[in-house]
């Protein structure tokens, strides 16, 4: 793909490539920036609500409750790859979509999800027998309702994303978060134990589906005749396979450890992993949700995606690297303060997982670029490699207890990143050196920040966990910000230019021009 079709802009002396992007800002850039703002605004608000509730719920429940819930999630998550959301994603990528395609996707979603709900009902007792916990069957037969909600959420969300309309999705996320958090907290307080974790996501999904369905207002009946749907089935089917291998990668630890660990040990590991995945699992998916339609629109207009991919990588690294290294250093104090003494054994597990999460994070945001180019086989290949790498490492690490599973991440995550970059960079025609340059400010500043925090923690060993946190967290943020400002001021200025709102006249450009956002 050539970038010759792009409008040429003369580079001024001393002008950075990022500045050139800003010079070619457009209405499309404003739409993407607005989409990112709403998607992240809604996500942040929803997560604040969810985390506030989670902290209280965790204090009310026991690790064993989380262990039981994790066991039930293995089957639900294992089947979720077939819920048809990948077929809905085909509507986002397509250059043109008609009523027939929408109706066919709706029909697929209904067939798949009602079938999955029935399958969960049948397999529930077998899953309970595998883990040796009869209550797992009861939990599963309630959670099957989640699949019945998916068609009424996935289709409207895909149609809204196609138009880069993320405001309704933000409102839906916040509404669902409030509803789910309220149910979880109420049931935990009333002594319902693990059931608080089961009913909360069902209510959250139902409210979210209702809001996006009202916003999208898709007035169509499902169509079960799939003639002429080859493009939908091919693209969606490939992504479905990717999700299958992703399920193996993400659930093999619980599947393997579930028969060997006590529910207490499994609860400690699963909750440590939940906390470690808060950024990668909650704040990186919105990047992919916005970048996929944005990349698709750019690619359909003949644009070169490499510069934007590098900017996404830089932005993600700048955010996740200091957060995770900081969490690794203060894990003990954070667990003691937030979760309480009964969860203190979770601290070393969280510290180990947080240390490797920046590597996992930059890998996660690779797939949308090649999917938008119509090359989902790259995502499929990396998904297969990820499933093999993680499952193999977990099978070996489980012998060493919960901590052994965390060390398995140290091996599998870097291997998966190397494989992903080996396939993605040639497809984008992006030089490895350019990618390393994009990462360098985050890597260097985080390393210096981490060393400074380590020294500071050594100087205040006798402080209580709360006071150590209160002192170290703002101190680390100031150190990291100062390092970026004094060593890489251009990175700070470019990030500010990317985020700030343009004057109204600046947003009136041609939609064929290149956006200034990092997507």
State whether 240 and 221 are in the same domain. no
State whether 366 and 499 are in the same domain. yes
Q: Is residue 199 part of a domain?
A: yes
Supply the DSSP symbol for 461.
Answer: T
Q: Is residue 412 part of a domain?
A: yes
Q: Which of 189, 204, 226 corresponds to the end of one domain? A: 226
pTM value is 0.66
pLDDT band, residue 494 (cuts 50/70/90): confident
Question: Per-residue pLDDT for 6 more than 60?
Answer: no
What are the tens digits of pLDDT across the range 123-150? Answer: 999 999 988 889 999 999 999 999 999 9
pLDDT band, residue 482 (cuts 50/70/90): very high
State whether 449 and 477 are in the same domain. yes
* Mean pLDDT computed over 496-505: 50
Q: What is the domain count for the chain?
A: 2
pLDDT band, residue 16 (cuts 50/70/90): very low
Q: Nearest to residue 223, comparing CAs of 113, 104, 112?
A: 104
Q: Would you state the torsion angle of the CA atoms of residues 230, 231, 235, 240, taken in this order, to the nearest 10 degrees?
A: -40
Are 70 and 258 contacting, i.e. CB atoms less than 8 angstroms apart?
A: yes
| End-to-end Cα, the chain, rounded Å | 19
Residues 106, 216: Cα–Cα separation, whole Å: 14
**Largest Cα–Cα separation, the chain:** 71
State whether 185 and 265 are in the same domain. no
Q: Would you state the torsion angle of the CA atoms of residues 231, 233, 238, 244, taken in this order, to the nearest 10 degrees?
A: 160
State whether 71 and 156 are in the same domain. yes
State whether 178 and 251 are in the same domain. no
Q: Is residue 168 part of a domain?
A: yes
Domain span at 385: 229-503
Q: Would you state the torsion angle of the CA atoms of residues 322, 328, 333, 338, taken in this order, to the nearest 10 degrees?
A: 80
Distances (CA, A) of 77 to 14, 139, 176, 269: 51, 14, 20, 17
Q: Is residue 513 part of a domain?
A: no
What are the tens digits of pLDDT across the range 43-73? Answer: 666 667 776 777 788 878 888 888 889 888 8
State whether 94 and 176 are in the same domain. yes
Question: Per-residue pLDDT for 506 more than 60?
Answer: no
Q: Is residue 332 part of a domain?
A: yes
Q: Is residue 435 part of a domain?
A: yes
What are the tens digits of pLDDT across the range 221-276? Answer: 888 877 776 777 777 777 777 778 888 888 889 888 888 888 888 888 988 998 89
Mean pLDDT of the chain: 82
pLDDT at 102: 82
State whether 189 and 327 are in the same domain. no
Tell me whether residue 455 is exposed, middle or buried, using C-beta atoms within 10 angstroms of its C-beta: 0 to 12, 13 to 18, 19 or more. exposed
Question: Per-residue pLDDT for 393 more than 80?
Answer: yes
State whether 137 and 238 are in the same domain. no
Q: Nearest to residue 469, comparing CAs of 448, 453, 452?
A: 453
């Amino acid at each position: 793909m050539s970038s010759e079709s792009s409008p040429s802009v003369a580079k001024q002396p001393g002008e950075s490539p990022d500045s050139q992007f800003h010079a070619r800002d457009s209405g499309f850039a404003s739409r993407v920036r607005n989409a990112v703002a709403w998607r992240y605004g809604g996500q942040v608000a929803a997560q604040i609500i969810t985390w506030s509730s989670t902290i209280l719920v965790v204090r009310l429940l026991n690790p064993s409750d989380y262990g039981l819930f994790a066991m039930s999630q293995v089957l639900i998550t294992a089947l979720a790859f077939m819920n048809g959301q990948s077929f809905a994603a085909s509507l986002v990528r397509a250059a043109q979509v008609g009523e027939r395609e929408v109706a066919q996707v709706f029909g697929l979603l209904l067939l798949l999800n009602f079938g999955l709900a029935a399958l969960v009902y049948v397999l529930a007792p077998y899953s309970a027998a595998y883990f040796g916990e009869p209550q797992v069957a009861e939990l599963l037969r309630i959670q099957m309702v989640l699949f019945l909600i998916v068609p009424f959420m996935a289709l409207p969300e895909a149609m809204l994303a196609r138009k880069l309309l993320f405001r309704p999705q933000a409102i839906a996320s916040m509404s669902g978060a409030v509803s789910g958090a309220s149910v979880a907290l109420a049931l935990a307080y009333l002594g319902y134990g693990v059931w608080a974790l089961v009913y909360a996501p069902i209510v959250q999904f139902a409210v979210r589906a209702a809001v996006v369905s009202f916003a999208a207002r898709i007035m169509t009946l499902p169509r079960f005749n799939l003639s002429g749907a080859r493009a939908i089935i091919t693209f969606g089917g490939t992504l479905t396979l990717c999700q299958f291998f992703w399920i193996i990668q993400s659930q093999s630890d619980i599947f393997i450890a579930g028969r060997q660990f006590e529910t207490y040990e499994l609860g400690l590991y699963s909750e440590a992993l939940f906390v470690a995945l808060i950024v990668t699992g909650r704040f990186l998916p919105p990047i992919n949700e916005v970048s996929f339609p944005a990349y698709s629109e750019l690619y359909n207009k003949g644009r070169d995606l490499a510069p934007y991919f590098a900017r996404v990588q830089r932005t993600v690294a700048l955010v996740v690297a200091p957060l995770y290294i900081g969490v690794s250093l203060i894990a003990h104090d954070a667990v003691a303060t937030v979760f309480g003494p009964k969860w203190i054994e979770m601290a070393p597990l969280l510290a180990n997982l947080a240390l490797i999460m920046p590597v996992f994070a930059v890998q996660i945001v690779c797939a949308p670029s090649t999917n938008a180019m119509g090359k989902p086989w790259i995502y499929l290949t990396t998904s297969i490699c990820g499933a093999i790498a993680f499952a193999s490492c977990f099978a070996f690490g489980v012998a060493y207890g919960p901590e052994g599973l965390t060390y398995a991440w140290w091996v599998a995550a870097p291997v998966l990143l190397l494989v992903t970059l080996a396939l993605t960079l040639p497809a984008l025609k992006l030089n490895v050196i350019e990618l390393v340059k994009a990462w360098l400010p985050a890597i260097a500043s985080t390393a210096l920040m981490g060393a400074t925090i380590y020294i500071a923690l050594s100087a205040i060993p006798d402080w209580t966990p709360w006071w150590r946190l209160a002192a170290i967290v703002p101190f680390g943020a100031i150190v990291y910000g100062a390092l970026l400002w004094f060593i890489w001021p251009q990175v700070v200025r470019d990030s500010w230019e990317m985020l700030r709102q343009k004057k109204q006249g600046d947003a009136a450009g041609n939609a064929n021009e290149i956006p200034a956002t990092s997507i």
